[in-house]
């Protein structure tokens, strides 16, 4: 988000996920996609609507796992986990979706190796 140009953003993505700079073909593939709307990608700070934090749930532990509410609490935890975190409210949705697609493409490259 702090990148000054689309090309520097492409470089940042490749360095973070592949540990190297992009080659010329990768720059010409991803650079133009990120360049479209790059200057307007940020929503002005006064207009940013941050999502409300989720309500806290009671803990389910060994000592209370047989209580009637334990199952509904765990089901709500699962629902929240499946929904995932909300998208960054500082980015305009169309540009953010292109950015996510670029990152997804790099992460799914056969060169990417994830080690736990």
pLDDT tens digits, 79-105? 999 998 888 899 999 999 999 999 999
Token reading at 112? 């990417």
Phi, psi dihedral angles at 10 (to 5 degrees):
-60, -45
Reduced 3-state DSSP string for 59-79: CCCCCCCCCCHHHHHHHHHHH
Token reading at 92? 């305009």
Q: Are 11 and 101 in contact (CB under 8 A)?
A: no
pLDDT tens digits, 20-62? 999 999 999 999 999 999 999 999 999 998 888 889 999 898 8
Instruction: Give the model's confidence band at 115: pLDDT under 50 very low, under 70 low, under 90 confident, else very high.
Output: low
- Which parts of the chain are beta strand (E)? none
| pTM of the shown model | 0.74
């Amino acid at each position: 988000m702090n990148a000054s140009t689309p090309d520097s953003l492409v470089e940042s993505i490749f360095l973070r996920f592949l540990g190297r700079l992009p080659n010329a073909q990768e720059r010409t593939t991803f650079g133009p996609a990120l360049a479209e709307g790059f200057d307007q990608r940020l929503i002005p700070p006064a207009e940013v609507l941050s999502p409300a934090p989720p309500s806290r749930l009671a803990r389910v532990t060994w000592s209370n796992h047989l209580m009637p509410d334990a199952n509904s609490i765990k089901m709500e935890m699962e629902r929240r986990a499946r929904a995932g975190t909300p998208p960054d409210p500082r980015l305009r949705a169309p540009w953010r979706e292109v950015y996510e697609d670029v990152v997804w493409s790099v992460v799914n490259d056969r060169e990417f190796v994830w080690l736990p």
